[in-house]
């Protein structure tokens, strides 16, 4: 059993946070497009960002801010324009955005982090943003998480939010999070943004380490289409308002906090994969028997990202050969005579030898996932064993449907 429980409230569930989401006129659709997350006190800040050589202005800005100062009080996110590949003016727009939020909140602009999402090559509509910032500040609320979650999405079909609570030193500690992402998802930290709030007291170095490890086990283990975005950002704040003793070194309390942080990130990551453009189900791949965890995750992510595997799942075709082929090209060495493949409860390959299985029943298992409850019974499980090693890893993806091509063929038209 997990040492925490799910609660309501999203990013405003932890103590000392407010959030808001409004329509500022950034999106042509007229839907909400400007979000703000605010900590009532200075919070320890950590971030993990895209490794793409083409980075959005907000990514460069946040990296510089977090290198100079390991704390923040606010995160501003605009949706509609990615402000990536926009040159020096794009960076100036990001600076102005932070300064405007700082002035409106009466805090230093250095305490404001910025994220953007939308079409690459388009600058932020600064007139709309300037007019929107006072409004989003005025809308800040301790119950504003849902509004913020709705204002950061683009092609997403659903918002993504979660909050968990545990006990540390006999006091409740909470972590909340929201995320967006549906296409261009293949993070190496797709268009993917995630914001996490926490009310624990934790040292900057430890918080950054926790976040990086949590990212590897969650956002860096999902794929929709194999494309990494220019704007990938995972930002986490910890403001200490739980009034628990400071966690400054590794131990039982740090382990508990990181486990809950990882659970929050994994929930959001799976929600992104399930919401993949045109997707009809979530795919979860678990690999065991690898030399180490990194190797296991690499095999799992290769299988989850295989266009042939994804297409077979969409076609409800239990074609395990595509799974074997993807595992074999993952770049991780293993002996093929040790390979085992299961689809749900159907064992298809054992010790490298094909087995007879009920193909109609296996196909029915795939069909059932498309009708299952969201993030509960809508998951296709692929289990792969490659040997006797201790490495275990998971990755998540989605099937590849006709609609993915339609959505992305018409993205800017």
Pairwise CA distance, residues 291 & 32, whole Å: 47
Report which DSSP code applies to 360.
H
Give the C-alpha separation, 206 to 198, whole Å: 14
Greatest CA separation found in the chain? 69
Contacts of residue 154, Cβ cutoff 8 Å, sequence gap at least 6 = 79, 80, 117, 118, 180, 182, 191
Residue 91 in contact with residue 133, Cβ under 8 Å?
A: no
94 part of the active site: no
Helices and strands, number each (H, E), in the chain: 11, 15
Q: How far apart are CA 261 and CA 187, in angstroms?
A: 18
**Candidate list 50, 155, 191, 379, residue with the active-site label:** 191
How far is it, in rounded angstroms, from Cα 205 to Cα 45?
A: 10
CB atoms under 10 Å from CB of 294, counted, come to: 12
> Is the separation of the CB atoms in 146 and 19 below 8 Å?
no
Altogether, the residues listed in the chain come to a count of 413
- Cα-Cα-Cα-Cα torsion 328, 330, 333, 336, nearest 10 degrees, comes to -20
Question: How far is Cα 367 from Cα 337, in angstroms, rounded to an integer?
Answer: 30
Sheet with 346-350, edge to edge strand ranges: 353-354, 346-350, 340-343, 379-385, 282-290, 391-398
Distance CA 242, CA 16 (A): 9
CA dist 140 and 175 (Å) reads: 19
Question: Burial of 203 by CB count in 10 Å (0-12 exposed, 13-18 middle, 19+ buried)?
Answer: middle
Paired tokens of 313 = 């799942």
Q: How far apart are CA 40 and CA 142, in angstroms?
A: 11
Q: Which residues are catalytic?
A: 191
């Amino acid at each position: 059993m997990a040492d925490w429980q799910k609660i309501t409230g999203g990013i405003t569930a932890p103590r000392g946070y407010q959030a808001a989401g409004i329509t500022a006129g950034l999106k042509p659709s007229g839907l909400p497009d400007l979000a703000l997350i605010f900590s009532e006190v200075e919070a320890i800040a950590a971030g993990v960002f895209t490794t793409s050589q083409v980075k959005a202005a907000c990514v460069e800005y946040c990296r510089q801010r977090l290198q100079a100062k390991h704390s923040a009080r606010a995160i501003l996110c605009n949706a509609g324009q990615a402000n990536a590949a926009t040159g020096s003016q794009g960076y100036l727009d990001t600076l102005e955005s932070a300064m405007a939020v700082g002035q409106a909140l009466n805090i230093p602009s250095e305490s404001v982090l910025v994220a953007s999402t939308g079409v690459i090559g388009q600058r932020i509509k600064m007139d709309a943003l300037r007019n929107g910032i006072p409004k989003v500040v005025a809308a800040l609320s301790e119950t504003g998480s849902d509004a913020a979650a709705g204002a950061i999405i683009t092609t997403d079909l659903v918002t993504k939010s979660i909050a968990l609570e545990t006990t540390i030193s006999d006091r409740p500690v909470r972590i909340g999070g929201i995320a967006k992402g549906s296409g261009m998802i293949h993070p190496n930290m797709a268009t993917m943004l995630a914001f996490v709030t926490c009310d624990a007291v934790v040292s900057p170095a430890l918080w950054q380490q926790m976040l990086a490890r949590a990212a590897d086990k969650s956002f860096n283990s999902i794929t929709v289409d194999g494309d990494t975005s220019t704007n990938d950002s995972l930002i986490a704040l910890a403001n200490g308002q739980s009034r628990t003793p400071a966690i400054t070194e590794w131990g039982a309390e740090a382990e508990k906090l990181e486990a809950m942080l990882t659970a929050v990130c994994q929930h959001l990551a799976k929600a992104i994969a399930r919401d993949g453009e045109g997707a009809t189900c979530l795919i979860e791949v678990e690999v065991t028997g690898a030399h180490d965890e990194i190797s296991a995750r690499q095999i799992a992510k290769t299988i989850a990202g295989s266009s042939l595997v994804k297409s077979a799942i969409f076609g409800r075709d239990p074609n395990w050969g595509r799974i074997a082929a993807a595992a074999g090209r993952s770049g991780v060495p293993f002996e093929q005579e040790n390979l085992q493949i299961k689809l749900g409860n159907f064992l298809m390959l054992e010790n490298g030898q094909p087995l007879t299985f009920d193909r109609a029943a296996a196909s029915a298992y795939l069909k059932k996932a498309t009708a299952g409850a969201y993030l509960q019974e809508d998951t296709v499980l692929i289990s792969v064993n490659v040997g006797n090693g201790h490495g275990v890893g998971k990755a998540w993806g989605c099937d590849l449907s006709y609609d993915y091509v339609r959505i992305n063929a018409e993205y800017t038209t």
